[in-house]
Amino acid sequence: MNETAGESQADDAGRLERLESQIIGSALGGDPETTELALHLMHTKQFDQGEELLTQGEVGEEFLVVTEGTVIVEDESHSEIARLGPGSVLGEIALLHGSPISATVRALSPVHVLFCGADEFEQILETGELLDELEAVAETRLGSNWSRSVPSIPYTLRTGALVDLRPLMQADEERLIRFDSQLSEHSRRLRFLTGTKLTAGLVRYLIEIDQRRHIAWVATDESGELVAIARAIRLREEPEAAEFAIAVRDDWQGHGLGMLLFGVLGSAASALGVRSFIAHALWENTAMLAMLAHLDAEVAHEDPGVFISHSRLPHAPSELEPLVQQIMASRELQ
């Protein structure tokens, strides 16, 4: 080997080491001590395109961090649930909870990972605040796994239109993007208080939810497309209260769908221990004000053009409430 070639390989190795350090640091919360220990304890492994990194139902024995390439997460029918890239952690639920692997993970391209066994994983958890961060990731994935298993509830609106009601799934990502693209500028402003359009980061925030702290239900039409979304996010400082928001696609407004989904969201949140709702909305959002009037909500000026409301929880129609609460109780038992 000539000197130039040797220097080139050394440079490549150095760049790879720095890249792995950056990815591990980001994936594990940025704590220098945790990053250093993880790099010491973890080993590299490569998977060819199509090869399985994790197999659903098997005993979880490894913790992995993707450092290069893309993987797909599949359910039992081999349908794609999600695509993950560098910085994504895998296998943490099985190791944290002592449960079988919940979904198959397959390499969509050649994939490089850093991995370690259960004993090394325990050592890494003892440093920094990684356990709390991985528990949050695990909760989100458990919520995603749970929402895929929940049956939808068919319902006929007062206008005769048919919808299915169910929790939002991570697999709804493309449907969520299409839903947003079909909102008018007016509806988008009512939804976000500005004309904000979805960014990749905002999509992740809206779709990667745990269905405990961040609860979301949707209505779909007969083709499976999203026509309305209602979500409630519990306040960290007051977990019995949650901030809610509702959006209905323009061509589905006027069917009573917003009020229906508002009640479904209230019943779902109630099953998880939420006792009151808060909302921040524009005064021009007359549909929201009408819904709040049914609850005798306290409504007050907050900012120019914006009000804040405090209300008790609404409830789904009597024929729906026990079904919704039964579904949410199954999430609480996980």
pLDDT tens, residue by residue, 173-205? 999 999 999 999 988 888 877 666 788 888 888
Residue 299 tokens read as 């409504």
CB 153 within 8 A of CB 218: no
Of 123, 109, 110, 114, which is closest to residue 91 (Cα–Cα)? 114
Range(s) within the chain of domains with CATH label 3.40.630.30: 154-332
What's the predicted TM-score (pTM) here?
0.70
Range(s) within the chain of domains with CATH label 2.60.120.10: 3-148
Write down the architecture of domain 154-332 according to CATH: 3-Layer(aba) Sandwich (3.40)
Mean pLDDT, residues 4-12 taken together: 44
Rounded CA separation 21/17 (Å)? 6
Q: Which of 18-22, 37-41, 259-263 has the highest mean pLDDT?
A: 259-263
**What's domain 3-148's superfamily in CATH?**
Jelly Rolls (2.60.120.10)
pLDDT tens, residue by residue, 135-179? 777 788 778 888 888 999 999 999 999 999 999 998 899 999 999
Rounded CA separation 128/206 (Å)? 28
Q: How many helices (H) and strands (E) does the chain have?
A: 11, 16
Rounded CA separation 74/250 (Å)? 33
Q: What phi-psi label fits residue 269: left (phi over 0), alpha (psi between -120 and 50 degrees) or beta? A: alpha
Q: What phi-psi label fits residue 182: left (phi over 0), alpha (psi between -120 and 50 degrees) or beta? A: alpha
Q: Name the percent of the chain lying above pLDDT 90.
A: 57
pLDDT tens, residue by residue, 225-268? 999 999 999 998 898 999 999 999 999 999 999 999 999 999 99
Of 189, 145, 190, 196, which is closest to residue 171 (Cα–Cα)? 145
Burial (CB count within 10 angstroms: exposed 0-12, middle 13-18, buried 19+), residue 290 = exposed
Query: Beta-strand (E) ranges in 78-202?
Result: 80-84, 89-90, 104-107, 111-117, 153-156, 162-167
- The residues near 37 (Cβ < 8 Å, ≥ 6 apart) are 123, 124, 127
Question: Which pLDDT band, with edges at 50, 70 and 90, does 34 fall under?
Answer: confident
CA 31, 32, 35, 36 dihedral sign is negative
